[in-house]
Amino acid sequence: MGSAGCSQVSWHLVFLVLCLFVTGLVDGFNERHPQGPRLIIGVVRSAYEGNYTCIVTFKDHGRTYNLTRTVKMKVVGSPNKALPPQFTSPNEKVVYELEAGDDLVLPCEVFFTFLKDSRTEVWWTIDGKNTDDIMDVKVTQSEIPRRFEDKTIIRTLTVAKATPEDLKRNYTCYARNARGEGHSQAIVRMKVAAPKYTVELACGLGATILLVVVLIVIYHVYWLEMVLFYRAHFGTDETILDGKEYDVYVSYARNAEEEEFVLLTLRGVLENEFGYKLCIFDRDSLPGGIVTDETLSFIQKSQRLLVVLSPNYVMQGTQALLELKAGLENMASKGNIKVILVQYKVIKKSKVKELKQAKAALTIIKWKGEKSKFPKGRFWKELQLELPVKKIIRSSSLDGQEPSYVSLRNV
Ligand SMILES: *[C@@H]1O[C@H](CO)[C@@H](O)[C@H](O)[C@H]1NC(C)=O
Ligand SMILES: *[C@@H]1O[C@H](CO)[C@@H](O)[C@H](O)[C@H]1NC(C)=O
Ligand SMILES: *[C@@H]1O[C@H](CO)[C@@H](O)[C@H](O)[C@H]1NC(C)=O
């Protein structure tokens, strides 16, 4: 095929003419020289293409006449190197992916090498049927000349507004010359509609976000319940074998209101409902002992120090403050007691250093009056979380009635 360069063209052309070259006498050319009436072209090159004119001069009655004949020389590819049709497209690398309703345009591009007197044919079939027999498709053809009389034929098949069925058909292009026949199938696919995909993606994302939100809400609303549930089922009872006589030492202002809260409400729920053993100094201490020593020894014997905070609590010099200081000191130095702050009433400003530190470091469980009285309420759950894990066999649940504050008052 001539495109590889002239030096590869190995055959020789011989012109049987008496010759002169079109631009002047054929003289002084290495590869082209006249030999008698012949013009010999030693090596054929594409540059030698052109019109060759032979001039015969003769005289008649003193006049000179020129007789000319021109021959046009074309340089073509060698028949030894002629090939069957070569498909550039369609091929297996190009995929025509369309949505239903798009125009399907399939170019069939075939390269033909020069072959003397050979027909060059290109045609499309759809599901094995020649497109000439199919009405509603359009076919156009164009030719591009290449070097040495080779050429490329492009035959384009157009199916306007292709239906999903159209996109499932077998589109095959055929080509033929004297050297052979070939075919190549166009890969046509239907594109998955984009909007559907977006909707699915949005749904998936929405569901995920919703799930996360629901989980967060559940966590925030029920985390207390979850922790308590876990403790109740998988935690080990911390009140047995802890070497402490009491679970909770209650420290409070010795004042009528606080006393009622401690003795009726706190004691009622913690002892009767949750089964903790409380140490309430005025109840449990023996009369006649030295108050300070006895207080400290009771605190030593308790797992938790529950502080009921109220404005009366922070009055200087009360026993309550002594208890708080002892508890905090124990917690800081030996770590064998934990201080729990219950805010019974808001303290505006306290000058007690220890209390300030404790309030900064510990969580404060707030008593909210009537709202907090119900033993299944949040106040008690928060408090329970701070208390040691205790497994109880409830006898009160046997009668199936929820104990209420009213009934507690009558204990
Ligand atoms: C050769 O002659 C033809 C007309 O006979 C002309 O069209 C063509 O351009 C000529 N070719 C060259 C290379 O001069
Ligand atoms: C005939 O051809 C020759 C060579 O090209 C030229 O020199 C001469 O003038 C021509 N004569 C006529 C009458 O055209
Ligand atoms: C498509 O048709 C061609 C010839 O018509 C055939 O060779 C080819 O196997 C067919 N392809 C499929 C996928 O049926």
Distance 82 CA to ligand 3 centre (A): 27
Q: What residue ranges of the chain have pLDDT lower than 70? A: 1-29, 193-196, 285-289, 316-317, 392-411
Which residues, in sequence order, are CB contacts of 228 under 8 Å at separation 6+?
A: 381, 384, 385
What confidence score (pLDDT) does residue 22 get?
Answer: 44
67 CB within 6 A, ligand 2: no
Q: What is 122-166 written as a DSSP string?
A: EEEEETTEEGGG-TT-EEEEEEEE-GGG-EEEEEEEEETT--TTG
- In degrees and rounded to multiples of 5, residue 11 shows phi and psi of -90, 160
The whole-number pLDDT of residue 371 equals: 82
Helix axes 194-234, 378-386, angle to 10 degrees: 60
| Residues with a known catalytic role | 323
Other CB atoms within 10 A of residue 232 CB: 13
For 307, other C-beta atoms within 10 Å of its C-beta total 25
Q: What number does the ligand 1 atom closest to the CA of 50 have?
A: 13
Listed by start position, the domains of the chain span: 6-75, 84-190, 195-235, 239-410
> How many other CB atoms are found less than 10 A from the CB of residue 304?
23
Hey, whose CA ends up nearest to atom 1 of ligand 3?
Answer: 170
Write down the residue that tokens 């033909």 correspond to: 112
Helix segments in 144-289, DSSP class H? 194-234, 256-260, 267, 281-284
Q: Are both 6-75 and 84-190 of the same fold?
A: yes
Neighbours of 82 (CB within 10 A): 19
Q: How far apart are CA 37 and CA 47, in angstroms?
A: 23
Q: What pLDDT sits at residue 121?
A: 94
130 touches ligand 3 (CB under 6 Å): no
pTM > 0.75: yes or no: no
- Output the CATH code of domain 84-190: 2.60.40.10
Determine the 3-state secondary structure of 215 from DSSP.
Answer: helix
Ligand with minimal distance to 173 CA: 3
Second-level CATH architecture of 6-75? Sandwich (2.60)
Q: Ligand 1 centre from 38 Cα, in Å?
A: 21
CB 354 within 8 A of CB 320: no
Q: How far is CA 213 from the centre of its chain?
A: 20
CATH (residue range 239-410): 3.40.50.10140
Which numbered ligand comes closest to the C-alpha of 90?
Answer: 3
66 lines ligand 2 (CB under 6 A): yes
DSSP 52-79: EEEEEEEEETTEEEEEEEEEEE-----G
Closest by CA position to 122, among listed 152, 167, 99, 95: 152
Alpha carbon of 52 to ligand 1 centroid (Å): 10
Pocket mutation for ligand 3, best pick of 125, 131, 172 (most atoms within 8 Å of C-beta): 172
- H or E segment and range at residue 400: none
* Number of neighbours of residue 5 by Cβ within 10 angstroms: 9
Whose CA is closest to atom 10 on ligand 2? 66
Q: How remote is the CA of residue 124 from the centroid of ligand 3, in Å?
A: 12
Token digits of residue 41: 């072209």
Q: What is the pLDDT of residue 286?
A: 66
